[in-house]
Amino acid sequence: MFPRPLLSLTLAAALVAPTAADAAPSVPVVAGTVRITASRSTTIDVRLPKDVNIGDGWKEPAGSTVTGAGRTIGALMVKADLSLAAYELVRYHFCDKPGCSTPITKTWFHGSDGTTNPTKVLKAGLYRVLVVTDGKPVTVVMKFPGLKGTLNLRPTRPMYVKHEMPTYLGSTGDVVPGTYYSGSVPILVDGGLGIILHQFYIESDITAQQQGGFCKYSGTVPAEPAPHCPGGSGTDISITEIKAEGGQWAMTGRWKFLDEGDYRAGAYYRTVGLAHDPFGTITTIVMPPRI
């Protein structure tokens, strides 16, 4: 039997000690294979236990995949302190309806260690995984060379994701024959930080030179995107290609960590030649507040 003073202290400690149910949930630890399954856009926090060499910062590690239907689907794993550090694996289907699929696809991968340049090494630490869906279930497999085992995740925390398709208005360009299209949609970032994922697709016929790009600019600017962004803001991503024949032309892009506010985002396209049937998707993610 305890002496009375010791017994009193022991009972008091038992009364205030947290139970297992009260303890904070553990953060899953990233393994060599992380398999994420989600039927809606969602988010979950994870911990990278050590630095990982992911190889080429523009090429996904072998075995990394995104499966499912939808215009823009995939996962972005961003550093919890909201630096640029990231492992981004996104698949674009160049089709025009929620949950659609097509053989015409493109996979975007980018690995960064906190700069805008690609990196071979992801630093250990706390990350937030953002899973993007478009009306159908999605499975994302992320590979982390040097780590062992498999981690299966079914995140449930909701996250705001919106897919919008601008109307692309066309006009005759300043060259003959020539074609020019542009379009944009309003973007509202509220309650977190914004990420914008772009895609654009067009059929070209007689083409000698074509240029396209994506714009992101203040929602107070009324003009549509044009080569280049309105007001000379310099926030465009542009691509120029010289070719002697027509065909399918697709491009993708991404802006990350937009502060709260109103924006416009869209694409422009111009060609010395003939083009038709442009379409694209602007996908807005509002990342929940920092960990």
Pair (223, 123) in one structural domain: no
Among 158, 185, 203, residue at a domain's last position: 158
Pair (100, 216) in one structural domain: no
Among 91, 125, 158, residue at a domain's last position: 158
pLDDT of 55-87, one tens digit each?
A: 888 899 999 999 999 999 999 999 888 777 789
Q: Is the pLDDT of residue 286 over 60?
A: yes
Pair (185, 283) in one structural domain: yes
With tokens 């553990």, the residue in question is 26
21 within a domain of the structure (yes/no): no
Pair (146, 40) in one structural domain: yes
Pair (268, 194) in one structural domain: yes
Pair (148, 186) in one structural domain: no
Pair (143, 178) in one structural domain: no
Q: Is the pLDDT of residue 15 over 60?
A: no
Pair (40, 148) in one structural domain: yes
Among 126, 158, 190, residue at a domain's last position: 158
pLDDT at 176: 61
Query: Lowest mean pLDDT: which of 22-31, 62-71, 134-143, 196-205?
Result: 22-31
82 within a domain of the structure (yes/no): yes
When the pLDDT of each residue in the chain is averaged and rounded to a whole number, the result is 84
pLDDT of 102-152, one tens digit each?
A: 998 999 998 887 666 777 789 999 999 999 999 999 999 999 999 999 999
122 within a domain of the structure (yes/no): yes
Give the chain's domain count.
2
78 within a domain of the structure (yes/no): yes
Q: Does the global pTM surpass 0.75?
A: yes
Q: Is the pLDDT of residue 261 over 80?
A: yes
What is the end-to-end Cα distance of the chain in Å, rounded?
46
Q: Is the pLDDT of residue 240 over 90?
A: no
Pair (44, 65) in one structural domain: yes
Cα-based angle 157, 71, 139 (whole degrees, multiple of 5): 50
Rounded CA-CA distance 26/7 in Å is 33
204 within a domain of the structure (yes/no): yes
281 within a domain of the structure (yes/no): yes
Determine the average pLDDT of the residues in 25-39.
95
Integer-rounded Cα radius of gyration of the chain: 23
Q: Is the pLDDT of residue 230 over 70?
A: no
Give the bridge partners for 166, in sequence order. Answer: none
Q: Which domain holds residue 180?
A: 163-287
SS3 content of the chain, % helix, strand, coil (to 5): 5, 55, 40
14 within a domain of the structure (yes/no): no
88 within a domain of the structure (yes/no): yes
Q: Is the pLDDT of residue 249 over 50?
A: yes
Pair (134, 189) in one structural domain: no
Q: Is the pLDDT of residue 24 over 50?
A: no
DSSP 198: E
DSSP 18: P
pLDDT at 178: 80
pLDDT at 114: 67
User: Which percentage of the chain shows pLDDT scores above 70?
Assistant: 83
For residue 256, the domain's CATH number is 2.60.120
Pair (147, 192) in one structural domain: no
Q: Is the pLDDT of residue 229 over 90?
A: no
Quickly state the pLDDT bin for 288 (edges 50, 70, 90).
confident
Pair (59, 172) in one structural domain: no
Sheet order of strands, 42-48 included: 105-112, 86-93, 72-79, 125-132, 42-48, 157-158
